[in-house]
Amino acid sequence: MYFINTIKKFYNKNTIQINYNQTYESISKKYNIKKRKKKLIINITIGRSGSRWLTKIFTEHQNEFNGGTERDVLRESFYHYCNYYKLKIDDAPFFYQLKSQILEDWRNSDSSIICSPYFTFGLKKNN
């Protein structure tokens, strides 16, 4: 029980806020429309590779690029863990959250940059 309470406290403090009034379908629909006109850069690396530095260079151009590294560490690491050990989970909510973050980036710029070492497994099966 202690572990579950710790997770809840972590999420309450550190979760990136998304608009939960949107349905999964509306997020996907907006994403599919915008992805034709906007750019998405996904940097999949291992730790200590300079990816944070590279992302910082891109995001210095604020009107052109928006994004960051490891936006939601707990969810990203859980996704990585489940894919590494081939655990069958419903990962659709994770990808809808990610798409929502990308849409937020695209609202402010033409390109979204996502950089995370946690996407090394399983990202290619989704779009």
Domain coordinates of the chain in residue numbers? Answer: 36-125
pTM for the whole structure: 0.76
Give the span between the Cα atoms of 31 and 89, in whole angstroms. 23
Q: What's the token pair of residue 114?
A: 């996502």
Question: What pairs with residue 42 in β-bridges?
Answer: 114
Alpha carbon 61 to chain centroid, angstroms: 20
pLDDT class of 126 with cuts at 50, 70, 90: low
Give the span between the Cα atoms of 112 and 68, in whole angstroms. 9
Q: Which residue has better confidence, 71 or 11?
A: 71
Give the span between the Cα atoms of 20 and 24, in whole angstroms. 9
pLDDT digits (tens, 9 = 90+) for 16-33: 455 556 788 889 899 999
Q: What's the token pair of residue 81?
A: 């863990």
pLDDT at 115: 87
Q: Which residue has better confidence, 94 or 6?
A: 94
Give the span between the Cα atoms of 77 and 118, in whole angstroms. 6
pLDDT digits (tens, 9 = 90+) for 57-91: 888 887 788 888 778 888 888 988 998 998 988 88
